[in-house]
């Protein structure tokens, strides 16, 4: 009787005990699987699946030569062109439940089906072009173009095992971050890394305008092909598409790790950051409908509410070499971040507001943090080089100074207000109700100063003369931990004279603290203890006079700064802190040192804010200023 373990994984059911490509097993579980299969050790199912796939490739003699080799070469009725995908590419084969992996064709080659190619081509056509090539849906004649799909022609066998890790609820919504919400575990998929694809098209027309046909196809590539397009997959190197906002950035920081522990610069970090900030901002304006608003912009896969988003993103690096020269597994990249309209905007009059929203979200993300791994911290290699244990933080800057909207602390306040105002304006244009106001200013179209009379901007208090999408008053939404609301967040800042002048980074690594500064009835690590006055939001509570005005309170491994589980230091579990730290670059080597704090439910945050308040008017201290909130 044949052994069931001899069956290749590609032909096994996606069930527990046979093959589950998407799951990432811990070492203990892998050991149990090895015992079941009576072997010494096993890799993850996804790794084994890929290895078995590639073994079949080695048995085929030069399979890449197959691509369109039997088609005519004169170019009259058939042409093929090559395009390189800037990052990753996958078209879901749909043959295995719960896992995304490529369509596999003849000789075991991954390919892009002609039917998918036709669909993308049609979406990029004008109505006149659809009529010309017989591509209209109601046509009773076959189309005049045939789409033969695309095959990889370079070495596509590297870095096939991809990883996805949804964790936005853990990152910004839930209060207790010692436990991850259900459904936010990492999982794998199989995708091609920077493949060069050859696409083929044939024509039945006696005279074919091939220039127009390939221009249409390049527009399709500009919007993205395959799946996971909104996260940066399936986009060609060429800059095509309906661009909303484009800017050149430079960034350094720790690179993400794949399942095999190899580093990779993943361009979807920009979408993840802006989507996260959009959720924070919109949850401060309407916590119940925030996800609906963001899904309209970035797309969403919530059950029953699946939606293709309006925004697409791609990042074009100046060089394919992204690895930092310092020998660390870190990135050092310069490139163009491009946001484009990939969905259908039903009202073209809303486009200027959408362009402004994308620009402000990008500027906001640059102001308060960065992009990618450890974005809540400044890059320690630059600002705290004595620390060498781990890669912590990132650092992003504008390549062209004209794109930098912030030159001072007042500019930082202005940018935050402008971002909130354009978010309100977008909600009103898209008929979403604004239920909470995040500042004293009520205008949705301008950026008034904090002292401006509210009566001049009272239009938001008037009833909106149209139907708006309102929240159900009976629905009790869970509190958003990082909701951007004046009752929930504070931003403090100062001018740092140089990269070595950070006042916050030393506090992140120092466990020392005076006894008289320990919050009463609190111990470090007690994250769920209620604050002293629950009737008043902590961000607005009057600061008591601190015992010492010069010595900072300890924030090391507290609820304010968070921690990674380390049994050598304490029994505290891994948890996310309530503090972001940014060294925003200015001219002449100076920086805005910015601290963003979400203090609700964290006693250490209260003590830290009191300390910052005590420094505002001290002549012997570099002045700390409350950049935001205005309450």
pLDDT tens per residue across span 440-480: 444 333 333 334 444 444 343 444 444 556 554 434 445 79
List, in order, residues 6 or more apart from 274 with CB less than 8 Å away.
298, 313, 358, 361, 362, 365
Tell which residue, 529, 119, 224, 581, has the closest CA to residue 380: 581
pLDDT cut 90: percent of the chain above it? 63
Query: How many whole angstroms separate alpha carbon 289 and alpha carbon 274?
Result: 17
pLDDT value of position 336: 96
Tell me: the pLDDT tens digits for 548-558?
456 888 999 99
Q: How confident is the model at residue 190 (pLDDT cuts 50, 70, 90)?
A: very high
* Residue with the larger pLDDT of the pair 498 and 442: 498
- The encoded tokens of residue 365 equal 């993300």
With a CB cutoff of 8 Å and minimum separation 6, the contacts of 462 are none
With a cut of 60, say whether residue 206 has pLDDT above it.
yes
Question: What pLDDT digit, counting tens, does each position of 505-515 carry?
Answer: 999 997 764 33
Rounded Cα distance between 401 and 535, Å, is 45
Q: Looking at the predicted structure, is the pLDDT value of residue 182 above 80?
A: yes
Per-residue model confidence as pLDDT tens digits over 130-148: 999 999 887 778 899 999 9
Asked whether the predicted pLDDT for residue 186 surpasses 70, the reply is yes
At residue 514, the pLDDT reads 36
Measured distance CA(484)–CA(343) in Å, rounded: 27
The number of residues making up the chain comes to 631
The model's pLDDT over 330-372, given as tens digits with 9 standing for 90+, comes to 999 999 999 999 888 999 999 999 999 999 999 999 999 999 9
26-66 confidence digits (pLDDT tens): 999 999 999 988 899 999 999 999 999 998 776 555 555 55
- What is the H or E stretch that residue 128 is in? helix 127-132
In this prediction, residue 618 carries a pLDDT of 65
Domain boundaries, the chain: 9-56, 66-241
Which letter does DSSP use for residue 65 in this model?
G
Which pair of tokens denotes residue 239?
């800059």
Structure tokens at 40: 């010494």
CA distance 93 to 110: 10
Looking at residue 342, what is its pLDDT? 87
d(CA 151, CA 33): 35
* pLDDT number for residue 141: 83
249 pLDDT exceeds 90? yes
Decide the pairing of beta strands 256-257 and 243-254: unpaired
Other Cβ atoms within 10 Å of 297 Cβ, number: 23
The pLDDT of residue 126 is above 80: yes
Q: How far apart are CA 198 and CA 87, in angstroms?
A: 16
Residue 223 pLDDT: 86
pLDDT at 621: 55
Closest CA to 579 of 630, 504, 516: 504
Confidence of residue 630 (pLDDT cuts 50, 70, 90): low
Tokens 């046979």 belong to which residue?
A: 18
Of these ranges, 2-11, 191-200, 430-439, 456-465, the one predicted with the greatest mean pLDDT is 191-200
pLDDT at res. 239: 66
What is the phi/psi pair of residue 52, to 5°?
-65, -35
Q: What is the pLDDT of residue 307?
A: 87
Decide: 14 and 97 in contact? Cβ < 8 Å: yes
With a CB cutoff of 8 Å and minimum separation 6, the contacts of 180 are 167, 170
Secondary-structure percent of the chain, ordered helix, strand, coil, rounded to 5: 30, 20, 50
Cα–Cα distance list, 276 to 63, 238, 279, 291, 375 (Å): 43, 27, 5, 10, 12
544's CB contacts (< 8 A; 6+ apart) are 610
Q: What is the pLDDT of residue 538?
A: 47
Q: What's the pLDDT score for residue 519?
A: 39
Mean pLDDT of the region 299-325: 90
CB 195 within 8 A of CB 85: yes
332/318 Cα distance (integer angstroms): 11
Percentage of residues in the chain having pLDDT higher than 70: 83
Give the pLDDT band of residue 629 (cuts 50, 70, 90).
confident
Tokens 């008053």: give the residue. Answer: 473
Q: What is the pLDDT of residue 136?
A: 87
Rg (CA), the chain: 27
* CA–CA distance, 302 with 289 (Å, rounded to integer): 13
pLDDT in tens, 394-449: 999 999 999 999 999 999 999 999 999 999 999 999 999 998 765 544 433 333 33
Tell me the per-residue pLDDT of 586-618, one tens digit each, with 9 for 90 and over: 989 999 999 999 999 899 999 999 999 888 766
d(CA 99, CA 102): 10
Alpha helices in 480-601 (DSSP H): 505-508
What the block records as the tokens of 87 is 């990052």
Q: Which two tokens stand for residue 496?
A: 């740092």
- Judge whether 404 and 618 are in contact, CB under 8 Å: no
Closest CA to 315 of 254, 273, 360, 261: 273
Q: Is the pLDDT of residue 321 over 60?
A: yes
* Higher pLDDT, residue 463 or 376: 376
- C-beta of residue 22 within 8 angstroms of C-beta of residue 98: yes
The answer to whether residue 265 scores a pLDDT higher than 60 is: yes
Q: Where are the alpha helices (DSSP H) in 577-617?
A: 603-615
CA-to-CA distance for 345 and 348, rounded, in angstroms?
6
Averaged pLDDT of the chain:
85
How confident is the model over 283-307, as a mean pLDDT? 92
Report the pLDDT averaged over residues 273-278: 98
582: which DSSP letter?
A: E
Three-class DSSP labels, 137-194: CCCCCCCCEEEEEEEECCCCCCCCEEEECCCHHHHHHCCCCCCCCCCCCCEEEECEEC
């Amino acid at each position: 009787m044949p052994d069931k373990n001899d069956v290749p994984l590609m032909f096994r059911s996606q069930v527990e005990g046979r093959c589950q490509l998407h799951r990432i097993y811990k070492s203990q579980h892998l050991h149990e699987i090895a015992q079941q299969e009576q072997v010494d050790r096993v890799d993850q199912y996804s790794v084994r699946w890929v290895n078995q796939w590639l073994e079949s490739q080695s048995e085929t003699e030069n399979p890449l030569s197959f691509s369109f080799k039997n088609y005519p070469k004169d170019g009259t009725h058939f042409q093929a062109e090559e395009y390189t995908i800037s990052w990753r590419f996958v078209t879901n084969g749909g043959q295995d439940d719960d896992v995304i992996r490529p369509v596999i064709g003849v000789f075991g080659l991954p390919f892009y089906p002609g039917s998918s190619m036709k669909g993308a081509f049609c979406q990029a056509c004008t109505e006149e072009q659809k009529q010309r090539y017989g591509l209209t849906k109601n046509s009773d004649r076959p189309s005049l173009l045939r789409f033969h799909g695309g095959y990889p022609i370079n070495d596509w066998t590297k870095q096939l095992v991809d990883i996805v890790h949804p964790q936005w609820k853990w990152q910004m919504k839930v209060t207790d971050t010692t436990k991850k919400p259900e459904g936010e575990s990492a999982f794998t998929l199989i995708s091609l890394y920077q493949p060069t694809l050859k696409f083929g098209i044939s024509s039945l027309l006696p005279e074919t305008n091939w220039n127009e046909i390939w221009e249409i196809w390049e527009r399709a590539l500009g919007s993205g092909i395959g799946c996971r397009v909104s996260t940066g997959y399936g986009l060609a190197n060429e800059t095509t598409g309906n661009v909303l906002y484009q800017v050149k950035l430079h960034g350094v920081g720790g690179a993400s790790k794949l399942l095999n522990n190899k580093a990779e610069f993943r361009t979807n970090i920009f979408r993840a950051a802006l989507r996260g900030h959009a959720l924070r901002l919109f949850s401060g304006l309407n916590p119940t409908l925030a996800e609906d608003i963001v899904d309209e912009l970035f797309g969403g896969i919530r059950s029953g509410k699946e939606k293709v988003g309006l925004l697409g993103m791609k990042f074009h690096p100046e060089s394919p070499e992204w690895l930092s020269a310092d020998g660390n597994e870190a990135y050092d990249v310069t490139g163009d971040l491009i946001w484009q309209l990939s969905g259908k905007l039903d009202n073209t009059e809303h486009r200027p507001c959408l362009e402004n929203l994308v620009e402000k979200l990008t500027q906001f993300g640059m102001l308060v943090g960065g992009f990618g791994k450890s974005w809540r911290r400044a890059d320690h290699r630059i600002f705290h080089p004595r620390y060498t244990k781990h890669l912590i933080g990132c650092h992003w800057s504008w390549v062209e100074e004209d794109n930098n909207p912030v030159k001072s602390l007042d500019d930082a306040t202005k940018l935050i207000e402008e971002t909130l105002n354009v978010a309100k304006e977008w909600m009103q244009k898209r008929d979403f109700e604004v239920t909470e106001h995040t500042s004293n200013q009520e205008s949705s179209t301008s950026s008034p100063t904090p002292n401006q009379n509210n009566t001049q901007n009272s239009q938001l208090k008037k009833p909106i003369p149209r139907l708006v999408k309102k929240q159900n008053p009976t629905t009790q939404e869970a509190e958003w931990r990082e909701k951007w609301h004046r009752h929930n967040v504070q931003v403090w800042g100062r001018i740092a004279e140089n990269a070595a002048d950070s006042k916050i980074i030393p506090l992140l690594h120092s466990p020392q603290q005076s006894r008289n500064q320990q919050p009463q009835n609190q111990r470090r690590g007690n994250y769920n203890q209620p604050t002293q006055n629950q009737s008043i939001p902590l961000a607005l509570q009057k600061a008591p006079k601190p015992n010492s005005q010069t010595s900072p309170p300890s924030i090391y491994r507290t609820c304010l700064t968070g921690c990674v589980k380390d049994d050598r230091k304490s029994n505290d579990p891994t948890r996310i802190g309530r503090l972001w730290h940014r060294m925003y670059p200015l001219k002449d080597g100076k920086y805005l040192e910015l601290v963003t704090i979400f203090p609700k439910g964290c006693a250490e945050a209260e003590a830290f804010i009191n300390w910052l308040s005590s420094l505002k008017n001290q002549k012997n201290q570099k002045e700390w200023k409350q950049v935001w909130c205005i309450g």
